[in-house]
Amino acid sequence: MYNNWYLLAAIPVFALLILVHEFGHFITAKWAGIRVDEFALGFPPRLLSFKRGETTYSINLIPLGGYVKMPGENGETTDDNGTYDPRNFAAKPASRRLIVLLAGVTMNLILAVVLFSVAEAVGRVEFRPVIGSVEANSPAQAVGLRAGDRILDVNGQPIKYFSDMQNDTTNTMNAYVSAHKGATTVPITLTVQYPGQAVRTLTVNARVKPPQNQGAIGIQADQTNPYHLRTPIWQAPIRGVQDIGSVTVATWQGIQSIIRGIIPFNQAFTGPVGIVHITGEVASTVPTDGWYSILFLTGFLSLNLAIVNVLPIPALDGGRVLLIIIELLRRGKRLSPEREGLVNLIGMAALLLLIALITVNDIGGLFAGR
């Protein structure tokens, strides 16, 4: 049963994502001959720290990320005394700076593949395509669907597991809404059979914007007699790479749903509070369903961290990469350190404001029972 102790699962999940990302920056900075002043998990105030060589390693209070502090990150090539410092980040060639900046994203991408692969090898739990319960006042109830009905196919497409029905329904709805702007329901044809009775075909008007936690049709799976599906270990890495593609496509489809208004904007983004809550819920399934879901979720978060960080937004890795690309296009002419620092400062302030707004929305959603 879910309880608040499962929320603590977010600590190792967040720590792993941040550690791997920042380690990418750290190890490539060392390779590039850049001095690293601090390797930090979280943002100040500082809780614990120790120094080894020239680098301080610290754990900070605010768990919204981490950083590898390198002199010259804002484009300055001199030290505090105005002396040229060859070990500054800005003093290195553009190619090495790009490698350092993209290393964090690359490490998160690698971590995602590893976690997806392990998840596939551990195996996932699937349920029979049998209805366990029907929500009151739902489209399923309106057409007479009932607990015990076995779903044989969706729009003529045979299904094997309950998740197949969910995926086929989602794909059909996305295609229908693209072709019928402003649609509030989508017709889904289901072939179902109740034990000992004849097969029947029903058309359900799936809701484009269903109530929270009900789903488009309003049914839940019968979770008795689950299947445990494992991928042979030598095939797991292939499936892990395929999962990268699947999650990326699903993310793009989600963005399209936001643009088309299928997903309300205030429900489209989840911040740290929401992620902690989701992680707690997923972690609570480990005793009954195994490790697949928490491993897959962590891989999903790692992939999304890579995607977000590569966006050309000031203060993020992608924003700094964009500045280097502009520098190359201008044949080596850089922004002044003052301007580059101001751009990154504004970007960081905007990012923190966005995180604050999303966090407020997450908290409001939790109190509202979302």
Catalytically annotated residues: 22
CB atoms inside a 10 Å sphere around CB 89: 26
Q: Are strands 131-134 and 124-126 parallel, antiparallel or unpaired?
A: unpaired
The 8 Å CB, 24+ separation contacts for 351-360 are 351/313, 351/315, 351/316, 355/64, 355/271, 355/272, 358/269, 358/270, 358/271, 358/274, 359/271, 359/272, 359/273
Instruction: Supply 205's token pair.
Output: 């008007």
Cβ proximity of 335 and 75 under 8 Å: yes
Instruction: Supply 258's token pair.
Output: 């936001």
Instruction: Supply 233's token pair.
Output: 């270990």
Instruction: Supply 140's token pair.
Output: 């399923």
Q: Please name the amino acid found at residue 95.
A: S
Instruction: Supply 166's token pair.
Output: 């969910």
262-288: b or e for each residue (b if 16 or more CB lie within 10 Å)?
bbeeeeeebbbbbbbbebbebbbbeee
C-alpha to C-alpha distance for 95 and 127, rounded to whole angstroms: 50
Cα–Cα distances (Å) from 91 to 216, 291, 294, in that order, read 55, 46, 42
- Tell me how many degrees the CA angle 341-309-338 measures, rounded to the nearest 5: 5
